[in-house]
Chain A
Amino acid sequence: MAGVVAVAAESLAGGRARAARTVLDQVVLPGEELLLPEQEDAEGPGGTGERPLRLNAGVRARVRVVCGPGLRRCGDRLLVTKCGRLRYKEPGGSGGGGGVYWVDSQQKRYVPVKGDHVIGIVTAKSGDIFKVDVGGSEPASLSYLAFEGATKRNRPNVQVGDLIYGQFVVANKDMEPEMVCIDSCGRANGMGVIGQDGLLFKVTLGLIRKLLAPDCEILQEVGKLYPLEIVFGMNGRIWVKAKTIQQTLILANILEACEHMTADQRKQIFSRLAES
């Protein structure tokens, strides 16, 4: 790690901006500028068939690039705002060219983002809306009509202290976040009040993303132990439930600890558990 930091400091001291392509999967620090690979639209047949108008020799067509969390736009370069590893995802299928760049950083504090599924705790009920604590700077508001099959007469059965699994529809720095428990078609899709019992605990945001990755071994191994149910919220909250309290607690401890364990240590623990 010290060697990586030294390299980064060197390039910063030099004052040059590095090309994003060369820094993939390496540690980047806030304040660095990254150059995008400038591509010339050289393809003729097929493709989109659009040839950009060449106004002058200096202007080249650029492909649309999305900068994700941890990056900002700075002229036509990317400015890093969080420290972490730079990641890149190729554009898939019919999508527009360019791909997505983002910084894989670690933090515990959640900032509401539109479209994220989160677990919230109902803290207050005032008139037509519920105030839900999602771990952000202010409580989100949830209307009682935003549940599946809810009407003015048929109100949902939500009490103060209940756990809610929902998604944000409004989440920016200027307005109070709003969440709902239905999707755009009006169906619940698993959102709504989370059932009785179980245990809610908090982990870092990076761990949630690691556990929700498509090829996560931890979840596959955990699923083989005993029957259980888990709900992951992107705000760092996990709710688990198993048949007995002891099993629930074991599960919670595993999930909290697996962030700092290597794969071997994890396998040891799982094999010990499987025996007992």
Chain B
Amino acid sequence: MQRGLDSETKRQLEEEEKKIISEEHWCFIIEEQSFLLCEDLLYGRMSFRGFNPEVEKLMLQMNSKNKTEEVEGETVELDVSDEEMARRYETLVGTIGKKFAKKRDRVNYEEDENGHVKPTVKAKKMFLKPQD
């Protein structure tokens, strides 16, 4: 009694499978049942001559969404401009740094013309070799 397939039929089946798989790989046909892909249809709710103002607003929104498909990042309106932010951060380092500096090091923090606190870099005191 022979169970299963003999080696030859097995080989043939494998070859057929491989053929099918390789054909599938190259053949890209996708089935879709929806008409949305096929035709650009307008939005389904409409209002004319101001009958329903909310729907008219929606119409403009949805139909312009369809037309302009470029998604651009909205520029967020800034309360504080970039330059001012940079300036504040620059002096912020000074004021916070001063808070944590020891009493001796506080001398290093000078006040600028505008009242901004900035750390001044002083030359570190090195050991001077005594001259004979």
Contact = CB atoms under 8 A, between A and B. Distances in A.
A59 B42 CA distance: 41
A55 B22 contact: yes
A223 B28 contact: no
B37 A100 contact: yes
Interface in A61-110: 61-69, 71-73, 75-76, 78, 87, 89, 93, 98, 100, 102
B29 A65 contact: yes
Interface string B52-81: 100100100010000001000000000000
B47 interface: yes
A158 interface: no
A61 B58 CA distance: 43
Contacts of A60: 26
Contacts of B50: 227
B45 A165 contact: yes
Interface residues of A, number: 56
A68 B28 contact: no
Interface stretch (A11-19, A42-50, A113-121): A113-121
Interface residues of B, number: 33
Nearest to A195: B52
A62 B51 contact: no
Contacts of A66: 29-32, 37
Given A165-B45, A190-B55, A222-B48, A214 B31 contact: no
B128 interface: no
B33 A113 contact: yes
Contacts of B41: 209, 212-214
B44 A209 contact: no
B28 A98 contact: yes
Nearest to A230: B46
B51 A228 contact: yes
B49 A115 contact: no
B29 A76 contact: yes
A243 B40 CA distance: 31
B34 A114 contact: yes
A67 B44 contact: no
Contact of A67 (B30, B43, B52): B30
Contacts of A61: 26
A226 interface: yes
A65 B62 contact: no
B29 A113 contact: no
27 contacts: A52-B26, A59-B22, A64-B28, A65-B28, A66-B30, A67-B30, A68-B33, A69-B33, A73-B29, A76-B23, A100-B38, A117-B44, A165-B44, A190-B55, A190-B58, A212-B41, A224-B48, A226-B49, A228-B47, A229-B45, A229-B52, A231-B44, A231-B46, A234-B35, A234-B44, A241-B51, A243-B51
Given A66-B32, A216-B42, A219-B46, 8 more contacts: A52-B26, A68-B33, A68-B34, A72-B31, A76-B27, A100-B38, A231-B46, A234-B44
